[in-house]
Amino acid sequence: MPPTEAGTPTWLSEEDCDLDAFRSLVEQSTEQHAYPSAERTEQNVLVYAGDRIRDLAATPGGRRAVQAELVRALLDGPGVVVLTGAFTDPGVVDAASGVFDALIEEERSTGTARGDHFAEAGANDRVWNALDKMALRAPEVFADYYANDMLALVSEAWLGPAYQMTSQINVVNPGGAAQSAHRDYHLGFLSQEQAAAYPAHVHRLSPVLTLQGAVAHCDMPVESGPTLFLPYSQKYEPGYLAWRRPEFVAYFDEHHVQLPLEKGDAVFFNPALLHAAGHNRTADVKRMANLLQVSSAFGRAMETVDRQAMADAVFPVLLRRKEEGASESWLRHVVAATAEGYPFPTDLDLDPPVGGLAPPSQADTLWQAIAEGWAPARLRQELQAGAERRRS
C-alpha cells in the first residue's frame, strides 16, 4: 500500500488485512462511564433507555449532548447502540406489522422470489422498498410510525439534516439460517476487486454516508436469532477487504455478541461494523424486523423511492394531524421520512436558487403546503412542477 507524504496509505489491498491488528482493535471493553447517557453495557454494547434519552434530549443543548454521545459510540466506541422502548406505543408497531404482513402475503401470492444480500433465497420473507409501499397503502400508519422521535434523533446525529429514510422488512421464519458476516452499503456491496479500486479515504468515508438500524416488531429472544455484532470492528480500516477472508469469518463466528430485543426496541449501528442476522432456532417465532437504511443527503440511497407519490399520499394525514394538534416536531419527523430533503441534482437553468444558494427541496415544498394549508391538488401540481424543473 503506497503511503501518502503524511504516511497514511493511499490504497488498501487484501495484503493489508492483519488479524492480529484487527484483534487489537476489537478486543477492548466498553467503559460505561465514558457514555453517561447509557443505561448499561451488555456484552460490550451500549444500551440506552428510550424514556431517559427523551428526557435528556428535551432541550436543544441536551439534544446536542445526547447526539454527540451517540456519534462517539457509533464512530469510535462499540459501533452499535440499542434503544429500549424506542417505540412506546405497541399499537403503532402492531399496525405497521399488519401492513407488512399484508405486503408479504401479496408478494408471496405473485410468486415473486425475494432475495437476500447475505443469506440464501427462501430463508426468510423480505419486502424491498417497504417505506414507499407503506406510505402509499397506509399513510395514517406510516405517519404514526415515522413520526418516531428516536428514529429522527439518531438519524440526524449520524447524518445531519435532510437524511433519506429507506426500509426493508425481513422476517426470519423458524429454522431460518443465519446470514454470513459482512459490512454493509456502500463498499460492503462491492467485490474485493471493486472495493480495492477505491482509495483509502473513500473506505473511511463510506460508513458515514449511511446509518443502519432495525426496529423489533416482535419480542426477539436470543434463540430467535437477533442480529450478531462484533463491537469495534468498524474501526478496522481494511475491513471492506477483510470480511470475506476465512480467518476473519472464523474470528467473527467465535467472538460475536447477540442481544435479545423486545417489541418496540431499536438497534442502530455503523454500517462498517461486522454483523449478520442470526439463526432462528425457535419453532414458533417469526422474527420480524423493519430494517432501516438511512442515507446522507450527500450520498446515494440503495433503493429508488417515489417520494413525490409518498408526499401526495401522506399530505392529507399531515394536514389532519396538524388540525388535531400534532406538534411541529412530530410533523417534521414525518416530512423527513417522506420527502426528498436535498435540492440537488437539478437543472439550474430551470430551477435556479432564489433567495439563497439552493432552490427549494421537495421537503421544503411539502412543509410550506402544511404550514399554509394547501389543497392536495395544489401540492400535487407544485411537486410535479418541481420534478419537471429538475429534469435536464
Cell 454527540 belongs to: 68
- Cβ atoms of residues 199 and 269 within 8 Å: no
The pTM for the full model equals 0.93
Please give the distance of CA 179 from its chain centroid, rounded to a whole number. Answer: 18
Q: Which three cell numbers stand for residue 64?
A: 446536542
**Dihedral angle sign, alpha carbons of residues 31, 32, 34, 38:** positive
What pLDDT was estimated at residue 116? Answer: 55
Under DSSP, the state recorded for 222 is: G
Query: Residue 186 phi/psi, 5° resolution?
Result: -95, -55
Residue 2, Cβ neighbours under 10 Å: how many? 6
Is 3 exposed, middle or buried (CB count within 10 Å of its CB: 0-12, 13-18, 19+)? Answer: exposed
> What superfamily in CATH does domain 16-27+90-295 come from?
q2cbj1_9rhob like domain (2.60.120.620)
Among residues 78, 48, 71, the alpha carbon closest in space to that of 273 is found at 78
pLDDT given at position 366: 98
Cβ partners under 8 Å of residue 39, min gap 6? 47, 48, 49, 52, 84
220/107 Cα distance (integer angstroms) = 25
Domain extent listing, the chain: 16-27+90-295, 307-390
pLDDT, one tens digit for every residue, the chain (392 residues): 555 455 678 999 999 999 999 999 999 999 999 999 999 999 999 999 999 999 999 999 999 999 999 999 999 999 999 999 999 999 999 999 999 999 999 998 887 645 555 555 556 788 999 999 999 999 999 999 999 999 999 999 999 999 999 999 999 999 998 889 999 999 999 999 999 999 999 999 999 999 999 999 999 999 999 999 999 999 999 999 999 999 999 999 999 999 999 999 999 999 999 999 999 999 999 999 999 999 999 999 999 999 999 999 999 999 999 999 999 999 999 999 999 999 999 998 999 987 788 999 999 999 999 999 999 999 999 999 999 998 87
